[in-house]
């Protein structure tokens, strides 16, 4: 492999003006170590030293000491900074010291629970603990892949259990009497990758943690919570909100690291034209496939991250085709990795990654988390991952053994990507975002109150742990027949299991099976709400580099039938949306501008899909769809501006719809700058005269039932958000609007009308009217 710096040279701006437009280097740094904690068993010190860890890094020792002192603690440091060592020292120590007490000894026996978002990471951490072979530690996984016989053994004998929130919610908590000995002795609860619990998923996990604390208290126990997180702007506050108790944070990273060279890459313009004659750049997918091909040809171990499943599969497929032309022996050393695979497929890719058999991997965020993959030389990030925290987590996957590494961010045709590629300070010079989630979301909380009541009747003195609206929600659940009120509290009376009635990860509808119509083979699964966008009739579904055409979407039986094809296009769905205001919760008034936040009902219908060229993004055709409309009760920010103010800003009445529409698209794209969302977490609507407001209005809403906290963050950071949006549109090189500034791939109105110049005038008028601190 070439040197890391030389790998970027062929693409330097001096050679190719449309390639690397900014280069940044994160210098190597030396470690600062600490003495081993005095309370740590000598046997464990010797075990760690035998692995080559002569002394812990200072932040590891600081966190371990806080945990040992009984403080809920979050370790929020960079990728590959050894966060696991911080929680393993106290966890293994207490299990080692209680090894002779016997599992039935209530006073001295101990147990530890490890929770992380993915089974892959749990399996990785389990293997690491088992390899230490510490006496008295009986570590085991308990997840959806664990067979029944092993589950019984884990409940009875394991004292270090590795699981995920889904299994904890549906498999462990409803059956807590079978886990009573484990809960009575539970000393530490480890929440790994805590930064990933955001939005509605974060709200679910926060309420799940309150249920766990409640059941532990039921058994007379109060365990210590330990968090491990990527760098975050508010780790202490967000982790405390996640677990429902105050916490301490360790944030200074004293680990060693090699140099990381980072390039920001903008794909070149093509000769093709998009909607309304807009210029089109080469896609981030096609460009990333070319980069991956070059890096693999140079024997550079590389991982490509992209947000979508289809993107990961398509990059792998294109790269394989490139390699087969001139280096066919390398094509077998490439794989895709994403959620939705069958367990044996995922495990095999993980094994090949660890062994070094694979030279290239394309992945969704499923591999962003801390699975130990030593020896990666480069990371390509195809499209902005949504947050700075995720971006730095992803590029940190390279160089994990302390070697120098390369990272390339390939900007997609998206307002945020374009803005970041041309404003590197917004990536490197700002702090990472706050972790946004709302534990009091009534759509989330209601289900957890039902689950908690079935686990053990809810007593009045426990309600404060679930938030200020708990009693009101309980009474609603009583009226709907789910709970019964008794003097002692609220009891579950419904015939179904409460935890089985809702998912903590999906947004409703349950999983749908993807079936090969020719062979009957199960290819994978997809959440029901995704099917209208990704598995409608005519859609292209990609699995392990192979493309399939969706023949039928059977919503009644939760099945999608597909057949194998080899197309040169991909598909994108388009929808039409209306918004109705239900209730206003916050407002801010400024002369001709009024900013609101509150509850809305969003009605969305997928009406068509486009076929687009894989290489150029050019629209090849569009087909209508007949799918049912879906209603969503959620939270939104919206603002109105008077017609007189728009006219004074230089707009004519005829320009209102196009200016509002363009500004709405761009604001959706730029919201992730101020909230931990990505474009697909949110939606928007604009209108020159809204029936509820009576004025020109722009809505930007959370695309999750009950809201996810993103829209409210936009309300709180409104000025910063609008300024960044205006600047992004203004700095785009196109004449009248393109996918890099004001066009949206989701727009059901075919991106018409759009008025780029009008959007700049509108947003400038908003900025003139709004005060620095607009909210209350």
What are the backbone dihedrals phi and psi of residue 755, each rounded to the nearest 5 degrees, phi first? -130, 95
Q: Helix or strand or coil: residue 621?
A: strand
Question: Max alpha carbon distance in the chain (Å)?
Answer: 82
Average pLDDT, the chain: 89
DSSP class of 257: B
Q: Give residue-wise pLDDT tens across range 536-560.
A: 999 999 887 789 999 999 988 889 9
4-26+257-428: CATH, from 3.20.20.450, 2.40.10.480, 3.20.20.140, 3.40.50.300:
3.40.50.300
Q: Are strands 279-281 and 302-305 parallel, antiparallel or unpaired?
A: unpaired
Calpha distance 637→664 (Å, rounded): 12
Q: Give residue-wise pLDDT tens across range 128-154.
A: 999 999 999 999 999 988 999 999 999
pLDDT interval class at 763 (50, 70, 90): very high
Q: Does 13 score more than 80 pLDDT? A: no
Quote the pLDDT of residue 348: 84
Q: Does 605 score more than 50 pLDDT? A: yes
Quote the pLDDT of residue 370: 55
Quote the pLDDT of residue 396: 85
Give buried/exposed letters for 643-654 (b at 16+ CB in 10 A, else e): eebbeebebeee
Calpha distance 748→73 (Å, rounded): 47
Q: Does 1 score more than 60 pLDDT? A: no
Quote the pLDDT of residue 776: 40
> Nearest 10 degrees: CA dihedral of 79, 370, 250, 465?
140
Taking a C-beta distance cutoff of 8 angstroms, is the pair 542, 313 a contact?
yes
Quote the pLDDT of residue 401: 62
Question: How many helices and strands (H and E) does the chain possess?
Answer: 25, 29
Quote the pLDDT of residue 47: 97
Quote the pLDDT of residue 65: 98
Q: State the Rg of the chain over Cα.
A: 26
Q: What is the mean pLDDT of residues 362-367?
A: 82
Give buried/exposed letters for 570-599 (b at 16+ CB in 10 A, else e): bbbbbbebebebeeeeeebeeebbbbbbbb
Quote the pLDDT of residue 509: 59
CATH 3.40.50.300 residue window(s) in the chain: 4-26+257-428, 42-250
Calpha distance 755→646 (Å, rounded): 14
Q: Give residue-wise pLDDT tens across range 219-264.
A: 999 999 999 987 777 899 999 999 999 999 999 999 998 899 999 9
Architecture of domain 42-250: 3-Layer(aba) Sandwich (3.40)
Quote the pLDDT of residue 15: 44
Q: What is the mean pLDDT of residues 699-713?
A: 90
Q: Are strands 559-565 and 546-554 parallel, antiparallel or unpaired?
A: antiparallel
Q: Is 472 exposed, middle or buried (0-12, 13-18, 19+ CB in 10 A)?
A: exposed
Calpha distance 354→369 (Å, rounded): 15
Quote the pLDDT of residue 339: 65
3 vs 80, which has greater pLDDT? 80
Taking a C-beta distance cutoff of 8 angstroms, is the pair 191, 227 a contact?
yes
The number of CA neighbours under 13 Å toward the Cβ of 653 is 4
131 vs 443, which has greater pLDDT? 131
Strand ranges in 400-486 using DSSP code E only, listed in sequence order:
405-410, 483-486
Q: Does 430 score more than 50 pLDDT? A: yes
Q: Does 104 score more than 80 pLDDT? A: no
pLDDT interval class at 272 (50, 70, 90): confident
Taking a C-beta distance cutoff of 8 angstroms, is the pair 459, 489 a contact?
yes
Q: Does 660 score more than 60 pLDDT? A: yes
Q: What is the mean pLDDT of residues 605-610?
A: 93
Residue 419, C-beta contacts closer than 8 angstroms, at least 6 positions apart: 426, 670, 673, 724, 727, 728, 731
Q: What is the mean pLDDT of residues 338-366?
A: 80
Q: Give residue-wise pLDDT tens across range 722-753.
A: 999 999 999 888 888 888 899 887 776 778 89
Closest to 175 (Cα-Cα) out of 416, 426, 518, 454: 454
pLDDT interval class at 418 (50, 70, 90): confident
**How many beta carbons lie within 10 A of that of residue 14, not counting itself?**
7
Task: Measure the N-to-C terminal CA separation of the chain; round to a whole number of Å.
Answer: 56
């Amino acid at each position: 492999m070439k040197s890391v710096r030389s790998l970027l040279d062929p693409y330097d701006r001096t050679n190719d003006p449309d390639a690397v437009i900014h280069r940044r280097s994160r210098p190597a740094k030396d470690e600062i170590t600490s003495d081993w904690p005095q309370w740590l068993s000598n046997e464990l010190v010797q075990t760690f030293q035998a692995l080559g860890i002569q002394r812990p890094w200072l932040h590891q020792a600081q966190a371990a000491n806080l945990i040992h002192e009984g403080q809920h603690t979050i370790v929020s440091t960079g990728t590959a900074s050894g966060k696991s060592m911080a929680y393993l020292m106290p966890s293994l120590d207490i299990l080692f010291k209680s090894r002779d007490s016997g599992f039935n000894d209530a006073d001295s026996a101990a147990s530890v629970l490890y929770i992380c978002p993915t089974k892959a990471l749990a399996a990785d951490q389990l293997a690491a603990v088992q390899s230490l072979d510490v006496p008295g530690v009986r570590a085991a996984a308990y997840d959806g892949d664990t067979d029944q016989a092993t589950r019984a053994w884990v409940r009875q004998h394991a004292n270090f259990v590795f699981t995920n929130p889904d299994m904890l919610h549906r498999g462990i908590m409803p059956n807590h009497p079978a886990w009573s000995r484990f809960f009575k002795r539970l000393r530490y609860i480890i929440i790994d990758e805590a930064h990933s619990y955001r939005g509605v998923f974060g709200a679910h996990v926060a309420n799940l943690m309150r249920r766990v604390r409640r059941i532990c208290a039921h058994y007379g126990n109060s365990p210590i919570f330990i968090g491990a997180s990527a760098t975050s702007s508010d780790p202490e506050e967000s982790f405390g909100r996640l677990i429902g108790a105050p916490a301490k944070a360790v944030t200074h990273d004293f680990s060693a690291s090699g140099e990381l060279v980072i390039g920001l890459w903008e794909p070149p313009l093509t000769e093709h034209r998009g909607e309304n004659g807009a210029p089109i750049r080469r896609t981030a997918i096609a460009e990333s496939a070319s980069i991956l091909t070059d890096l693999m040809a140079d024997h550079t171990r590389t991982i490509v991250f992209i947000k979508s499943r289809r993107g990961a599969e398509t990059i792998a497929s294109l790269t394989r085709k490139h390699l087969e032309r001139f280096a066919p022996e390398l094509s077998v050393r490439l794989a895709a990795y994403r959620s939705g695979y069958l367990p044996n497929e995922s495990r095999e890719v993980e094994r090949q990654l660890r062994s070094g058999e694979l030279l290239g991997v394309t992945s969704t965020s499923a591999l962003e988390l801390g699975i130990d993959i030593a020896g990666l030389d480069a990371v390509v990030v195809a499209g902005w991952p949504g947050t700075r925290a995720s971006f730095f987590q992803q590029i940190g996957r390279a160089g994990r053994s302390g070697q120098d590494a390369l990272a390339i961010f390939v900007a997609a045709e998206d307002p945020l990507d374009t803005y970041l590629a041309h404003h590197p300070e917004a990536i490197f010079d700002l702090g990472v975002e706050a972790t946004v989630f709302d534990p009091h979301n009534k759509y989330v909380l209601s289900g957890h109150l039902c689950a908690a009541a079935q686990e053990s009747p809810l007593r009045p003195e426990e309600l404060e742990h679930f938030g200020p609206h708990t009693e009101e929600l309980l009474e609603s659940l009583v009226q709907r027949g789910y709970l019964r009120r008794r003097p002692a509290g609220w009891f579950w009376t419904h015939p179904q299991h409460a935890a089985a009635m809702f998912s903590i990860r999906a947004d409703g509808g349950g999983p749908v099976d993807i079936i090969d119509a020719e062979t009957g083979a199960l290819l994978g699964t997809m959440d029901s709400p995704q099917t209208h966008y990704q598995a409608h009739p005519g859609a292209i579904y990609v699995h392990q580099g192979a493309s399939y055409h969706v023949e039928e979407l059977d919503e009644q039986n939760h099945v999608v039938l597909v057949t194998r094809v080899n197309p040169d296009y991909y598909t994108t769905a388009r929808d039409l949306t209306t918004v109705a205001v239900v209730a206003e919760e916050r407002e801010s008034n400024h002369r001709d501008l009024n900013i609101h936040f509150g509850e809305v009902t969003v009605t969305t219908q997928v009406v068509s899909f486009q076929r687009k060229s894989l290489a150029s993004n050019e629209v090849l055709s569009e087909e209508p769809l007949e799918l049912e409309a879906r209603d969503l009760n959620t939270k939104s920010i919206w603002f109105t501006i008077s017609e007189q103010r728009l006219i004074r800003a230089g707009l004519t009445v005829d320009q209102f719809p196009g200016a509002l529409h363009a500004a709405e698209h761009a604001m959706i794209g730029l919201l992730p700058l101020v909230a931990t969302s990505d474009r697909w977490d949110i939606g928007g609507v604009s209108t020159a005269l809204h029936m509820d407001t009576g004025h020109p209005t722009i809505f930007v809403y959370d695309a999750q039932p009950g809201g996810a906290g993103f829209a409210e963050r936009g309300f709180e950071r409104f000025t910063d958000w609008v300024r960044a949006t205006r600047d992004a549109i203004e700095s785009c090189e196109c004449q009248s609007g393109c996918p890099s500034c004001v066009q949206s791939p989701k727009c059901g109105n075919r991106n018409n009308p759009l008025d780029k110049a009008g959007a700049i005038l509108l947003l400038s008028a908003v900025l003139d009217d709004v005060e620095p601190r607009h909210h209350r």
